[in-house]
Amino acid sequence: MADYDAEHWYPTAAYLYVLHLDDLALAWEYLRRNPEYRRDWLDRQHRPEAPQRWGLRLLENPSLDARDAHPVWFPDHPELIHLYPDVDPMPDSVAFDFWRLPGSKGLVHDGRRLLLTTRWPGCCMRLAVAPGLEQGMAYVHAVRACASPCARSCALMAEMDKLAEAADAAPLAVVRCRPGPTALLELHTLQALDATLAGASLREVAAGLFGPAAVADGWHADGGLRSKVRRLVRRGRELMHDGYRRLAQLDRREEGRSTQPAERP
């Protein structure tokens, strides 16, 4: 991300990881490309108010992509799982065991609690660990009150079931289905956005995404290919400037990629 040149954006293989990102990770991919955010990061020692401008508790390094970054969103995502000490544990209570959690783990302290992200093939789990919870203690899962608590509780329990299953036998690899249109749209949008930030023309963007042959055959004033690339670039800029907030659900509405209002190519 540091140098916007053709070597960065032209190879589509460099964007394949995008096909498996969830909404929060995609929100970070768009935000970290924002030139104003990158300036705030460079001047972070003199801009203590900057994080909340971007919907973050702490500024994260924009050179880190979603596989390595740990952005701390503000407010919390509705499906963040909160863990607290159980003040009245039952005899069969399960003890908190950090080392039994599956996957590659990342820890960030936001000044109030420990935020834990763990990733394993095919899944990503985000947890908030209360200050009083320690290794070996009985614990409870907390669910935020909302207008539809049953639906949210069911979604959280489904995620916790994945965590329990993976803890028993974490897979070394998974076989994924062929990427769907939505995943491919995000890949093309990010690639087109990087290309335009590097100064590429729309025709150059089209050649990078769809190949020189497609451009030679279908690049004309009223052609579908030209319109498709133009929409990709416009969508990328909208998500980079403010649309990422919808992906991260920073406005507190239960929205994500499925409610994307921008035009789709």
In SS3 terms, 43-97 reads as CHHHCCCHHHHCCEEECCCCCCCCCCCCCEECCCCCCCEEEEECCCCCCCCCECC
Its domain, for residue 233, covers 181-259
Let me know if residue 25 belongs to a domain. Answer: no
Let me know if residue 165 belongs to a domain. Answer: no
Query: 52-89 pLDDT, tens per residue?
Result: 999 999 999 999 999 999 999 999 988 789 999 999 99
CA-based angle 108:113:119, to the nearest 5?
A: 45
Pairing of strands 81-85, 123-129: parallel
Let me know if residue 237 belongs to a domain. Answer: yes
Let me know if residue 20 belongs to a domain. Answer: no
pLDDT of residue 37: 98
Say if residue 43's pLDDT is above 60: yes
Residues, the chain, total?
265
> Can you read off the two tokens belonging to residue 200?
């590429």
Let me know if residue 227 belongs to a domain. Answer: yes
> Can you read off the two tokens belonging to residue 92?
């069969």
Let me know if residue 83 belongs to a domain. Answer: no
Let me know if residue 86 belongs to a domain. Answer: no
Let me know if residue 55 belongs to a domain. Answer: no
Q: pLDDT band for 25, please (50, 70, 90 cuts).
A: very high
- Name the domain count of the chain: 1
Q: Look up the pTM and report it.
A: 0.86
